[in-house]
Chain A
Amino acid sequence: GAVVSQHPSWVICKSGTSVKIECRSLDFQATTMFWYRQFPKQSLMLMATSNEGSKATYEQGVEKDKFLINHASLTLSTLTVTSAHPEDSSFYICSADDSGSLSYEQYFGPGTRLTVT
């Protein structure tokens, strides 16, 4: 099946700094990718839809100025957590829809664990 990678797999940063997380589709093109956040022992919450070549669409309650999303190519989307605070510590997971395969599968990346100190 299709593979989605994320980098880094974990990151620790100081409060007030910014962190960039990359999401790549390795063997398929993804015009749309999705970013989720998961707190410990909780479910996944959709944050935003990343659209290649256009602005991201954010879910209600998600601060677009804090979570900057860029989808510069058909295989790469980035999420930048700006001015991170301890409450931003979470597991961030991206997914992509291999629209070319008609499998209707959503492929998830391995996740990035962010800890803000």
Chain B
Amino acid sequence: ELKVEQNPLFLSMQEGKNYTIYCNYSTTSDRLYWYRQDPGKSLESLFVLLSNGAVKQEGRLMASLDTKARLSTLHITAAVHDLSATYFCAVDRGRGSTLGRLYFGRGTQLTVWP
């Protein structure tokens, strides 16, 4: 059974600080995703990581993937209040023709305070 573990589950950080969210998964996967969710809203896609060593950056967020360690990280640089949200990683459970079945971590609720 595929397990996706995220930590921390809750993160309270001061504006301007840096922090990393970790996502470990238990079996091989072809794709790993990071999403943001604001309260009462659906998911906003942040990154899709497809290969070992992949690194993607968008603004203050940077995601990386180590398929050998089955680990992805989401690094936050110089946090600002607008980044406050819940962040999910998700691993594709499918292979080949069954791709797209995502298994989500429990989410990291991020609060950025002044």
Contacts and interface: CB of A to CB of B under 8 A. Distances in A.
B100 interface: yes
B106 interface: yes
B42 A109 contact: yes
Interface in A23-58: 32, 34, 42-46, 49
Given A43-B88, A43-B107, A103-B48, A108 B101 contact: no
A111 to B, nearest CB: 4
A46 B103 contact: yes
Given A42-B106, A43-B107, A110 B41 contact: yes
Contact of B100 (A45, A97, A103, A110): A97
A60 B107 CA distance: 22
B42 A108 contact: yes
Interface in B14-37: 31, 33, 35
A49 B101 contact: yes
A98 to B, nearest CB: 11
B85 interface: no
A42 B106 CA distance: 7
Given A95-B100, A105-B45, A105-B48, 6 more contacts: A32-B100, A43-B88, A97-B100, A104-B31, A106-B33, A106-B102
